[in-house]
Every structure is written in C-alpha cells, then in structure tokens.
Chains A and B, each alone.
Chain A
Amino acid sequence: MSVAGSAFTVALGLSAAAAVAGLAAPRRTRPLLVGLGTTAAGVAGVVAGVAALGGGSFSAWLPDLLPLAGVRLALDPLGGLFVAVTGAVAVCAAVYGVGYVAPNAVEDGSHGDGRAVQAMLPLFVAAMLLVPAAASVSTLLVVWELMALTSLLLVLAEHRRRAAVGEAARWYAVMTHLGLLVILAGLVGFAAAAHGESFAQLRAAAGGMSPAVRGAVFATTLLGFASKAGVVPLHVWLPRAHPEAPSYVSALMSAAMVNLGVYGVLRVGLDLLGGGSRWWWLLVLAAGAGSALYGILQAVVAVDLKRLLAYSTTENMGLVFIGVGAGGYFAATGSRVLAGLALTAGLLHLVNHAGFKTVLFCSAGSVLRATGSRDLDALGGLRSRMPVTTALFAIGALAASALPPGNGFVSEWLLLQSLVHALPTSATATAVVMPLAVAVVALTAGLAVATFVKAFGVGFLARPRGPGAEQARESPPSMLAGTGLAAIACVALAVAPAAVLPGLSRAAGAALGAGAVDSVHGPVTLRLTGFAGSMSPLLIAVALLAAAVGALAGVRSLVVRRARRVARLWDCGAGPMTARMQYTATSFAEPLQRVFDDVLAPETDVDVTPTAESAYLVERVKFQARVPDRIEYRLYRPVLAATRMVGEAARGLANGSVHRYLGYGFFAFTGLLIVLAVIR
C-alpha cells in the first residue's frame, strides 16, 4: 500500500480510537485523550493528503463494509488537497479544543466535555477526511450524511445553555438534509444513466450522455453542494449554526466542512461530467459573485463577532466559487491555461481561507470564553488583557482583508489576474462577465477591509465597553497553541505561497483532466505561465519592513530626544470620557449600512415614552436597530409560513380516532390499486 493509503488508514484508525476514548475515558482525561487522538489523526490526514498531491494515489474496494454496494475509496491529487486541508484544520482545532472544553471562571458549566460530544469530534473529522476519498456514489452519500450528522450533534453541544442553539441546529438539520436529498437525486440519476455507480464508471459514461441529462445532474448536485458551501441563497443555516457551535467546531465547519461543497462541484462538474456547457459555469460564477457581495455586506453590519465571521465564510466561499466558475468557463471555451490559472487561484484562496478562518474562529472562541460575550458592542480593550489572542486575531484579520503582506492578498491577486487576462482573448459574453466579476471582487475586497477593521478595531482595541471585557484574561496555553499553529500556517502561506502552488496546480489539473500545468511558477517571485504578470509577496513584506525601519531610523535621528509623556485624550474640554462615548461596531458600520440601505433593508424601531406630566417631556426612549438577513426574510419565511399552514390544515385530518386512521389506510390502498389498474 502506498504512503497515502497507509497514512489515510492510520488517520481513520486514530479517529476511531479517539472516538472510543471519548466514550470510555473518565471526564478528567477525556478531553486530552480525544484531543491527542484527533490531532494525530489530523497529522496523518495531512500526510496522506500531501502524498496524494505528490502523485501517490491509492484506491481500495471494501465490498463487505456496506451492504449491496460496498465501500470504494480512492485518493487523487484533487481529493488529496481537501484531505490535507481538513487534516491541518483538524490538528489546530483539536489542540485548541483541549483547553476550550476545560471548565473556566467566566462561564460556569462545561463547554461540551460530555461523552457524546467528545466522541463526535473525531468522527466528524474522519467523515470529513472520507468525503474527498469516496469513489462511488453510495460511499459518497453515506460519508456525506455521516459528516452532516456528526456536525449536527456537535452544533448541539451547548444546547442547554442557550435557546438559540436549538433553533440553529433545526435550521442546519433541515438545510443539510434538503441538500443531501438533491445531491442524492442528482447522483442517483447520474448513476442510473451511467449503469454503474463507481466514479470510474460514471466518468467513462458521462461522455455519451445527452447534454440535457448532464445539465440536469450538474444543476441538481450544484444546489446541494452550494448549500453545504454556504452560497447565497442557500446560506441561511451558516450564520446560525457557526456562531452557536463551540468555537473549535465552528472552525472545523467554517474552514474545512464548507470546502467540501467546493470539492463536490469540482468532482462532479469538472471531473465526472467532464466540463460541460458554459451556462453551468456562468451559473457557478454568478452564485459566487452574489455570495461574495451579500456575505460581506451582511458581515460589515454584523455586531456578533462569530456571526460576522460566518458571513465572511459565505463571502470567501463566493470568491472561491468565482475562481471555480471562471475556471470551468475558460475550460468550456477552450482556454486551458487560463482555466488552470483561475482554478489554482480559487483553490489557493480556499487554502488561505481555511488558514485564516481557523485563526479567526479560534480567537473569537477565546474572546467568548474570556468575556462571555460575542457582541462587539460589549467588547474592546482586549489588547492589554489578552495580548497573544489580539496578535493572533490581527494576523487572521490582515489575511481576511486581503491586504499585503497577508496571505489572502496573494490569492485575490491571482484571482484578479485570471479574470483580467480573459478579456482580450474571447467572446462578448466574456467581455460582459469578466469586468463585472472584477468589480464584485473589488467591492468585496474593499468591504472586507472595512469589516475586519471593525472586528479588530472595535473588538480588541480602545477601552472595554462591557464588564465581561474588563475582566478578560488570556486563554490557556493549548488554546493559544491551536490558534498559533493556524497563524503560523497563515504567515507561511503569506510569504511562501510557492510552496503549495505546485500541489494546487496538480489538483486543478486533476479536476480539469489536463495533466499538471503549473499555471504559476517561481520560488520567490510568482510568475504567471503564458501571461505577463508577476508578484513577490516575500519582497513586499521585506520592502515594507525595510521602509518601516528606515522611516523609524530617520525620525529617530531627526527628533530631539525628550521623555515620552502620557496625556489626556481630547475630550473637547468636557471632562474625562467614559467608555460609552466610544464608537461601537454598530456606529462604525452605520455609514456603510446607509449606503447599502436598499440591499440590506435595516429595521429601526424607536419607542418614546413621555412622562405623565407632559407629552413633550420624554421619560424614556427605546431604540432598536437590527439588520435581518433579507434573503431569509423574503425567501424562507413565506415557505415556512406556507408549510405551517398546510400542517395546521392537515391537523384536522387526525382527530385521534383509530377507525378513521384505518379508514384512511383502506381508502389509500384501494385508491392505489385503482390507479395501478388504470395505468397498467
């Protein structure tokens, strides 16, 4: 068995062992054992993924494991990439989780060190490792559902503390199962048309199918995979489930699980169906553009830190979808080099997102644990109380706002390059689509900067806005270590993206079926293959550092040395300012909220209570402002209301009488027989 195969087996074995430890070990040692097991499984997953990216593929058929179909596993470079990313995120989350579940002073009660929750964590990781390795329809569906169920149980971990957890989990359960349903429908239809269910059979048969069948398969599976990736308008579960889950689970879901939606689109659309028409990929691109814009607009006005991060996930998955859509579109128009570039850019962004979102969710979890609050309007002043967490969050925020020298900048630059270079080559459709895509990416980039300036500036800097933030303490070492590992990965990706680019090119090549073409080459300076364009992230970082040192030295040499004095802030002469006079996250985002009024449709509610003596004297003013998710309001509420109405009406049918139910059975059966008699 190859390195990839044995490492993958080890990863699954370790996950199983960790799950058993979670069930059997006593409460005191349970988190440590589960954490160690999951970490080791993650490391093995990374090894397996990297080996597969390097070309060491493996495949296995276990006919007796699942009745009728058996389990088929295979790892190619495309799957290997997702296995490696999942493994890496699992390592960070597992290390972080050990400290997170331990009891602490601020919040009483456990954070989910119960048996069920602890056993679910390694199983969830194992399921996520298995999804990219599944090589038949039945295997994929089984592990996909296993992933959904384990993550659902993990989301429910804190359901005794907050009522919102239950609601979030219900949304998640319904959405993920509807997603499974459409994926099932699409893939079963595909398998039926191909007369076989292993991926090899599907791949071979896809060429002979009619475009209508292939289009239908793609569109249905796209619905399911896009909902897993949190793409608008199927994202509604994401900003609910991610904030309510324990933070290390949020990190796993947001940095690893949503990626598998992208994996599904790549596997089914590009690999199994072999490309297809342009409209498929224009659809993907449009969905990506919509998600990127809508996600970041919601994030920029969000005041709940974890909700903000969840919407930012929708945004980043949208950017990845733009890359994937552009890649597929270029492949369909025949420009393979460009397709490789766009896909590589999308995948690099996916890897970068996994890195910085792990950092951000883990540090948000540290903040939540130390202050008991996720509300940015109640945070602030954490930089002196939690210096390490603040620094780590700063690294993540820099990456997420796609500014140099962060890692997000490199992938967005590549994405923009792939879109820009498409223009001179081809048709009018491209000339219309690409500028709009660039505009979307640009607006998203600008708003992402504002979002993360808000998250970092309001959440961590200035003075504490609430009692929780005032008493915050730095997190335990294991939480810092977990976050720190992800931050180190971010820094490495920022200065040396060339280390992962060949692997990504191979994964993109595996998806496009074009063999490995390195669309970007060069160790320090990244140069595009076939197009003029170069970028050196390391050089930018070094130049910035040199310029800062130079400026500092210049000022130092010119300045007249005098002692530094602490002075009062400018308060317009009105006496010392209180912490309540600071700008909050709500007020910070207010101008942008006003600019995008028509899209966001914020709701404000002013309630003035006059005094008893006179209507002109006000006793109390109550002001409420919130920005509801408009898509949820307009699209889902009517459907839910209609379902409820149907349910209420149907209640009249069931009055508790057994005779009546037997009668229903009788009439239904007779009716069925009559129908059969008529149509046969």
Chain B
Amino acid sequence: MTASGALGAAAQVAVVGGGSPLLVGLMRQVRARMEGRAGAGVLQPWRDLRKLLRKEPITPAGTAWVFRAAPLVLAATVLVVAAVAPFATTSSPLDRIADLFAVAALLALGTVALALAGLDTGTAFGGMGASREMTVMALVEPTILLSVFALSVRVGSTNLAAIVGEAVRDPRAVISPVSLLAAVALAVATVAEAGRLPVDNPSTHLELTMIHEAMVLEYAGPDLALVEWASAMRLSVLLGLLTSLFAPWGITTGAGLAVLPLALVVFAAKVAALGVVLAAGEVFLAKLRLFRVPELLAGSFLLALLAVAASFFLG
C-alpha cells in the first residue's frame, strides 16, 4: 500500500463523484443539440440534485428499511468500485478486491438493492421494474463474466489492475481479435447494465415502458437525489471500466504523484468522449421491445464466447 495509491483511489472517487452528474448533463446536452433543442446545460443534473436535497424527505406509505437502505447500498457499491478500479492509477490500496468478477458482482448488488426497493413499495410499477431489471441482469451476467474470462487469459489473472497494467506495458496487444470481440460484447452488456437505449430509455415518462425509472418511481427528495447521483456514478464507472480495459492509455502504473492529475484528466476526457459517442448513437436508436432485448443480449453472449475461443485458438 502506498500513499500515492491511496491518494489516487481517493482522487478517483472524487472525480467520479463530482464528475458523474456532469457526464449525464453532457450526454443530455449532446442529445438535445443533435435533436435541434437548446438543452438545459451541462450543469443541470447538479442543479437538480441541489433542488432535491432541499426538499422534504418522503416515506411512501407501507415501505420499510429495505426501501430506505437501497439508495445507500447502491451508492456504496459504486463508490467501492470507483475506489478499486484502475481508472487513473493501477496502485489502489484496495486492489486485492479489484477482481473483475468481484466488480461485476458488486455492481449487481447495487441493482439488487434497487430491485428489492421496487418490490418493497408494493406497487405494480415497482414490481414491474424490478422484474424487468432482474431479467436483464440475469442475461447480462454471462456476457460480462465470459468477456472477463477472455480478457484474463492473456494476463493469467482476473485482477483488473493486472489486466490494465499489462495493456499499458504492451499497448499493441489491445488491438487483437480477442479484445475486439470482448469489447463489443462488453459494450452491449454495459449499455444494458447502465439502462441506456436500446435496452431502457432513461428519459421516458411512460411508466409502462420503464425499467430503471419504474423501480425508483416512489423515491423523492434527498433519497431520490442519492439514487440519481449513484445512477450517474454507475454510468461513469461502467464507461470508465470500458475505457480502462480497451483504451488504457494514460493510466499510471507507478507510484509517482506528479502524473496523477494528468491521468485523472485523461480518464475524464476518455469517459466524456465515450459518453458523447453513446449519446450521439442514442439519437438514432429506438428502444427495443422488452422481449427483443434477450436476442440482443444473446448476441453479445455469443461474441463473448467467440472471444474466449479466440483467446485460446489465436493466442
């Protein structure tokens, strides 16, 4: 454990925590401009959060501790992932738990907390959202774990820092059939996990078409602020994982403090760029019917399986 590693982990958490609402704002702004609207500005999510924090806390009738604790669990899982994942530095003091399987499981834990909260409300919408979210999650999991498998073969470890560190040392290895196939598979899985188009529409206003929004329909005030913030962080963490795995440039592997600010800036720029691409892509996409989503996920699963096969037969 080094001081610079600990500082790097703390800086990652700070950047993810502070920058995530901006990422959401940026993506909304890009979308608005491309659709010919003026947009509310990049800072709007932060203004929304401030407004929500000032509102009175509300307990929906008949809900209990599960409902109250879920936003905290969601936020906690994302914060832990933000601290351990090699976004800017590979020497986080918590890198013992920076295993890709563990990271995937932690993110799943956050989803589960929200799904239970959705069920706890006892409304049809809450249950519906929870049921759909669990369906998507159950089908995304195999893709994620198989892609992890494919990426780990070259390094001989599923540790994120090890995978990223190896890629930083030998950047050409990133451009291989294995990594390309795994990248596409993981990208689809990320879109599904983050609840973006075409799996879920984050800006929908019709309860019947919601997945994520239906689960959190009953949240209001500061609780909603926490959920919104954690969801934004989740998006940036997922995009961050994609960039770290497939575009590891600029991540520091040493103990030096001087390069850390630069690494953080590069990380923010990479995630912002990926976010802009995602938002631009969403302009041209419509949401898939719920029962067509499994076909998309099955496709990504096949790609992940091909990636594993390629890692053996071509590696």
The closest CB in chain B to the CB of A431 belongs to: B312
Q: Decide if A567 touches B60 in the complex (CB within 8 Å).
A: yes
The closest CB in chain A to the CB of B69 belongs to: A548
A566 to B58, CA, bound (A): 6
Q: Decide if A569 touches B291 in the complex (CB within 8 Å).
A: no
Q: Decide if A570 touches B56 in the complex (CB within 8 Å).
A: no
A531 to B99, CA, bound (A): 14
Residues on the B chain within 8 Å of A587, using CB: 127, 131
1/0 per residue, CB under 8 A from B, across A588-632: the answer is 111110110000000000000000000000000000000000000
- Output the least CB separation between B84 and chain A (Å): 8
Residues on the A chain within 8 Å of B130, using CB: 453, 457, 583, 588
Interface hit among B196-204, B214-222, B237-245, B254-262? B214-222
Interface hit among A8-16, A309-317, A554-562? A554-562
Interface hit among A199-207, A440-448, A481-489? A440-448
A381 to B119, CA, bound (A): 11
- Set B79, B115, B137: member contacting A457, Cβ < 8 A: B115
A148 to B116, CA, bound (A): 39
A564 to B58, CA, bound (A): 6
Q: Taking the complex as formed, is B97 at the interface, i.e. its CB lies under 8 A from any CB of chain A?
A: yes
Q: Taking the complex as formed, is B142 at the interface, i.e. its CB lies under 8 A from any CB of chain A?
A: yes
- Set A566, A572, A589: member contacting B131, Cβ < 8 A: A589
Q: Taking the complex as formed, is B140 at the interface, i.e. its CB lies under 8 A from any CB of chain A?
A: yes
- Set B141, B149, B291: member contacting A435, Cβ < 8 A: B149
A200 to B308, CA, bound (A): 44
- Output the least CB separation between B16 and chain A (Å): 12
Q: Taking the complex as formed, is B225 at the interface, i.e. its CB lies under 8 A from any CB of chain A?
A: yes
A424 to B108, CA, bound (A): 28
Residues of chain B at interface, number, CB under 8 A: 88
Q: Taking the complex as formed, is A534 at the interface, i.e. its CB lies under 8 A from any CB of chain B?
A: yes
A439 to B84, CA, bound (A): 25
Q: Decide if A570 touches B123 in the complex (CB within 8 Å).
A: yes
Residues on the A chain within 8 Å of B226, using CB: 551, 555
Residues of chain A at interface, number, CB under 8 A: 82
Residues on the B chain within 8 Å of A582, using CB: 122-124, 127
1/0 per residue, CB under 8 A from B, across A417-458: the answer is 100110110000001000100110111011101100110111
Q: Decide if A402 touches B73 in the complex (CB within 8 Å).
A: no
Q: Taking the complex as formed, is B175 at the interface, i.e. its CB lies under 8 A from any CB of chain A?
A: no
Name B271-298 residues within 8 Å CB distance of A.
290-291, 294
Name A362-420 residues within 8 Å CB distance of B.
380-381, 383-384, 401-404, 409, 413, 416-417, 420
- Which of A531, A560, A563 gathers the greatest number of chain B CB atoms within 10 Å? A560
With known contacts A401-B112, A536-B96, A544-B76, A560–B54 Cβ distance under 8 A: yes
Q: Decide if A583 touches B131 in the complex (CB within 8 Å).
A: yes
- Output the least CB separation between B152 and chain A (Å): 6
1/0 per residue, CB under 8 A from A, across B221-256: the answer is 010011000100000000000000000000000000
- Output the least CB separation between B192 and chain A (Å): 12
Name A326-345 residues within 8 Å CB distance of B.
none
Q: Chain B's interface: helix, strand, loop or mixed, by majority?
A: helix
Name B85-108 residues within 8 Å CB distance of A.
94, 96-97, 99, 101-102, 105-106, 108
Q: Decide if B80 touches A383 in the complex (CB within 8 Å).
A: no
Q: Taking the complex as formed, is A539 at the interface, i.e. its CB lies under 8 A from any CB of chain B?
A: yes
- Which of B65, B115, B158, B225 gathers the greatest number of chain A CB atoms within 10 Å? B158
Q: Taking the complex as formed, is A540 at the interface, i.e. its CB lies under 8 A from any CB of chain B?
A: yes
- Output the least CB separation between B251 and chain A (Å): 19
Q: Decide if A533 touches B121 in the complex (CB within 8 Å).
A: no
With known contacts A404-B109, A461-B66, A588–B75 Cβ distance under 8 A: no
- Output the least CB separation between B310 and chain A (Å): 11
Q: Decide if B62 touches A463 in the complex (CB within 8 Å).
A: yes
Q: Taking the complex as formed, is B268 at the interface, i.e. its CB lies under 8 A from any CB of chain A?
A: no
Q: Taking the complex as formed, is A60 at the interface, i.e. its CB lies under 8 A from any CB of chain B?
A: no
- Output the least CB separation between B255 and chain A (Å): 20
Q: Decide if B105 touches A543 in the complex (CB within 8 Å).
A: no
Which positions in A face B, CB cutoff 8 Å?
A: 300, 380-381, 383-384, 401-404, 409, 413, 416-417, 420-421, 423-424, 431, 435, 438-439, 441-443, 445-447, 449-450, 453-454, 456-458, 461-463, 525, 531-536, 539-540, 543-545, 547-548, 550-552, 555, 558-560, 562-572, 577, 579, 581-583, 587-592, 594-595
Q: Decide if A421 touches B116 in the complex (CB within 8 Å).
A: no
Residues on the A chain within 8 Å of B138, using CB: 300, 443, 446-447, 449-450, 592
With known contacts A420-B158, A533-B159, A567–B61 Cβ distance under 8 A: yes
Q: Decide if A457 touches B97 in the complex (CB within 8 Å).
A: no
Name B185-214 residues within 8 Å CB distance of A.
207
Residues on the B chain within 8 Å of A572, using CB: 207
- Output the least CB separation between B295 and chain A (Å): 10
Residues on the A chain within 8 Å of B162, using CB: 532
Q: Decide if A555 touches B127 in the complex (CB within 8 Å).
A: no
Pairs A–B under 8 Å by Cβ, sample size 26? A383-B64, A404-B102, A413-B99, A439-B301, A439-B305, A443-B138, A450-B138, A457-B115, A462-B122, A535-B96, A535-B102, A539-B94, A539-B97, A543-B80, A544-B106, A550-B79, A551-B79, A560-B53, A562-B56, A565-B58, A565-B59, A583-B130, A588-B119, A588-B131, A588-B134, A595-B291
Q: Decide if A579 touches B158 in the complex (CB within 8 Å).
A: no
A93 to B124, CA, bound (A): 37
Q: Decide if A449 touches B134 in the complex (CB within 8 Å).
A: yes
A424 to B311, CA, bound (A): 9
